[in-house]
Amino acid sequence: MKSSFIRTVPAVLALALASVGLSAMAQTTTTTTTAVTPAPATQPTMTEKVKAGSEKAWDATKSTTKKAAKGTKKVAKKTGNAVANVGHKTADGMRSAGHAIGEKIPGTAENAAAKKP
């Protein structure tokens, strides 16, 4: 999950910067091909565009981080359960082996219990 997050952040930042660069190039192209007129006041400035792009990148990073944390927590819980299950099975197997050995050794409770029936 971590490598996915690490790959996502640069991609989001690259897209944000590329969109800003393309808009700047488009503005430069239109101003050079048409008469020199100031841009209407309703268009966002380059700073506003970069700020908006960085906010989108931040939101994407937050979202990805939350998803990664949730996935990591889920996998850790499953791993913990699997380890516990293996430990219990191992302990049960060792107890069974101990009882089997005890049944063969004279003077042990297991040996006495095995002779009674």
pLDDT of amino acid 84: 94
pTM, two decimals, is 0.42
CB atoms within 10 A of CB 57: 19
Give the model confidence (pLDDT) of 16-37 as tens digits. Answer: 666 666 565 555 544 445 556 6
Boundaries of domain holding 110: 2-34+42-115
Is residue 72 within 8 A of residue 1, CB to CB? The reply is yes
In this predicted structure, what is the pLDDT of residue 31?
A: 47
Mean local confidence (pLDDT), 79-107: 92
Residue with tokens 């003077």: 107
Instruction: Give 42 or 84, the one with higher predicted confidence.
Output: 84
Whether the Cβ atoms of residue 56 and residue 16 lie closer than 8 Å to each other: yes
pLDDT value of residue 22? 57
- Residue 20's pLDDT is 65
pLDDT score recorded for residue 26? 56
**Number of domains within the chain:** 1
